[in-house]
Amino acid sequence: MNKLSLSLCLILLLSFTLTAQENGTGSSPKEEKVKTGFSLGGVPVVAYDSDIGFKYGALINLYWYGDGSRYPMYDHSVYIEWSRTTKGNGINQITYDSDKLIPGIRSFFEASYLTEKALDFYGFNGYQAVYDADFEASTDQHGDANRLYYRHSRQLLRLKADFQGEIIGQKLRWLGGIAYYGNSIDSVDVDALNEGKDEDLLSHNSLYGNYVDWGLIPEDQAEGGGHTLLKAGLVYDTRDNEPNPFRGIWTEMQLHYAPAFLSNTDYSYTRLVLTHRQYFTLIPQWMNLAYRLSYQGKLSGEMPFYMMPYLFNTAPKLTSDGVGGSKTVRGILRNRVVGEGFAYGNIELRGKILRTTVLNQNLYIALSAFLDGGMVTQKYQFDTSGLPGNLPNHLPEQLIDPDAKEVPHLGYGGGIHFALNQNFIVTVDYGFAARKEDGNSGLYINLNFLF
C-alpha cells in the first residue's frame, strides 16, 4: 500500500464520520443499538505501485445476526474479496463462518486463489540472511533497477475446512480440520513487468534464482508443491467478545501433520503451533491493553522451504505469510524471519476516541500504539556448499552470515481503527523497523484488529 491508497481510504472514512457529526450524533456516546437480521460492510480496494500497477476491486462482509440476542456475535458471516492489479496480482477469496450450520460446532470454510508477482524472499534463519537495502535501491551493470532482487512469484490455491466443538462450554474447545496448500513458485516475471516501459527497467537479478542455481533450494522444491494438512488441537477462550476484547484470554494449541501420501512431493512433516493472547480493561468500554505470544516449530520430518513462512491461527483468523509485515511484526519486511521454528509477540494499547450511531449503524473510532517482535528459534538446515566463495560483482557483497547472532527483530508504531457494528473493522497501521537490517517502515490497511 502507498500514500494514494491511504488517502482514498481516509477520505471515505472521514466523510462517513463527518456525516455522523452533521446528523447531530457528535462525540458523546449513545446506547449501542442491538443489530438484528442482515448487516453488510464493504470498502473499495484501491492502490497503486509502479511495479505491480493499479490495484482495484472490492471486499464485502455480510453478517446475519438473527434476532440479535447474541449481538455482537453473529449467526453467519460471509466474506468475499476480489481484487486485481494491472500487472497481474490477484486475490480471489470467499470464507464462511458459522456456529449454526452444524448444531454445537463452529464451522469455517475458505476457498482462495492468491497470485503474487513479487513475494518477499530474504533467505533463511533471520539475521543469518543478510539484507542489503543499498543494493536493493541500486541498479545493475545495465542500469536496470535491483528493487525486485529479494522477490519471487507465487500462485497459491488454499482450501480449508475447520471445526470447533465444546468440551467445557465455549471456554474449552476441541479443534480439527483439513487444509490444502497448492504452491506454484517461480522467479519474478521481469519481462512482463518491464513490458511497455522505456525507462526504469527492472533487473533480472534474483536471490531466489541464485539459491536455485547454487542448490541452496533443492531442485524438487524450486517450483513449489501441493500439501494437505491435517489439524487437531485445543482452544481455551474466555474473551468477552471476538472483534476487540476488553478482558479474557485466548490460548490455542495446534498439531499439524502433512503426510507425503496427501502431497505431490515426497516431503512429510509435523508441526506444533502454540499461541496465547490476553486482554485487559484499562477504562471500561474505552481503553484496553492486549498482548500476544506465539511459537510455531517443526517436530519431525522435512519441511519444504515454501511451507515454512506460513502462520497458523484458529478460525476465523486466516493463515498469513511469515514473520514480518502487517500480521506479525509491523514495520519490518514481510517474510524477513523464516526458519523451521520461530516465535513472535505483540503488545498493543487501544483507546476509543468516538462512539456513535450513524444511519442506524453503530460506529466507533479507536487509536492504538504497538510494539512487535519476532525471531527464529529453530534454524533451517540447508546445503550451502554450492555458494560461491566470492560473489559476482552484480550481486550484493554478502548473502549469508553464518556467524550472525539471532536476536528479536523489532517493530513499533500506531494505528487508527474504524469499526461498524463492532464486527466490520477497517484498520490503518503504520510501523517502523528498529534496525535497518529489517527494513524501514510499512503502511498496512487491513480488516480487523491484529489479534
Task: Tell me the DSSP string of 32-63.
Answer: PPPP-SEEEEEEEEEEEETTTEEEEEEEEEEE
Query: For the segment 137-165, what is each residue's pLDDT rounded down to a tens digit?
Result: 999 988 999 999 999 999 999 999 999 99
User: Rounded to whole angstroms, how far apart are CA atoms 423 and 404?
Assistant: 43
Q: Find where cell 440479535 sits.
A: 68
Contacts of 11 (CB under 8 A, 6+ apart): none
Looking at residues 202-213, what average pLDDT do you find? Answer: 96
Rounded to two decimals, the pTM is 0.86
Helical (H) or strand (E) element with 6: helix 3-22
Share of the chain above pLDDT 70, in %: 91
Distance CA(39)–CA(422), nearest Å, equals 11
- Sign of the CA dihedral running 336, 138, 52, 42: positive
CB 248 within 8 Å of CB 291: no
In the CATH hierarchy, which fold is given to the domain comprising 3-447? Porin (2.40.160)
C-alpha cell at 126: 533471520
Q: 348 CB contacts (<8 Å, ≥6 apart)?
A: 289, 290, 291, 368, 369, 370, 371, 449, 450
Query: Residue 190 class from Cβ within 10 Å (0-12 exposed, 13-18 middle, 19+ buried)?
Result: buried
Mean pLDDT, the chain, as a whole number?
89
- Cα(first)–Cα(last) distance of the chain, in Å? 21
Q: How far is CA 368 from CA 52, 245, 424, in A?
A: 30, 14, 17
* Positive/negative CA dihedral, 110, 112, 118, 122: positive
The answer to whether residue 46 scores a pLDDT higher than 90 is: no
pLDDT of residue 236: 97
Q: Is the pLDDT of residue 51 over 80?
A: no
DSSP three-state, residue 338? coil
**Residues whose CB falls within 8 Å of the CB of residue 25, separated by 6 or more in sequence, listed in order:** 356, 357, 358
pLDDT score, position 30: 52
Domain ranges of the chain: 3-447
Apex 184 CA angle, 181 and 190, nearest 5: 145
Distance CA 102, CA 100 (A): 5
Residues 225-255 have pLDDT tens digits of 999 999 999 999 999 988 999 999 999 999 9
Q: What residue ranges in 103-260 does DSSP mark as E strands? A: 105-120, 151-168, 172-186, 224-237, 248-258
3-state helix vs strand vs coil in the chain, percent to 5:
10, 50, 40
Report pLDDT for 7: 43
> Quick one: pLDDT at residue 47?
62
Mean pLDDT of 400-407: 95
Q: What are the CB-based long-range contacts (under 8 Å, 24+) for 424-429?
A: 424/39, 424/41, 424/61, 424/63, 425/243, 425/244, 425/449, 426/9, 426/13, 426/43, 428/6, 428/9, 428/10, 429/326, 429/330, 429/368, 429/370
Q: Categorize the per-residue pLDDT at 40 as very low, low, confident or very high, splitting at 50, 70 and 90.
A: confident
- The phi, psi pair for 318, rounded to 5°, reads -90, 150
Measured torsion, CA atoms of residues 20, 25, 28, 31, in degrees rounded to the nearest 10: -110
The predicted structure's pLDDT at residue 307: 97
Instruction: Please report, as a single letter, which amino acid is at residue 28.
Output: S
pLDDT at 5 over 70: no
DSSP for 237-290, please give it.
Answer: E--S-SSS-SSEEEEEEEEEEE-GGGSSSS--EEEEEEEEEEEEEEETTTEEEE
What phi and psi, each to the nearest 5 degrees, are found at residue 22?
A: -65, -25
Q: Where are the alpha helices (DSSP H) in 302-409?
A: none
Predicted confidence band of residue 410 (pLDDT cuts 50, 70, 90): very high
Q: What is the dihedral of CA 312, 313, 319, 322, to 10 degrees?
A: -50
pLDDT tops 60 at residue 18: no
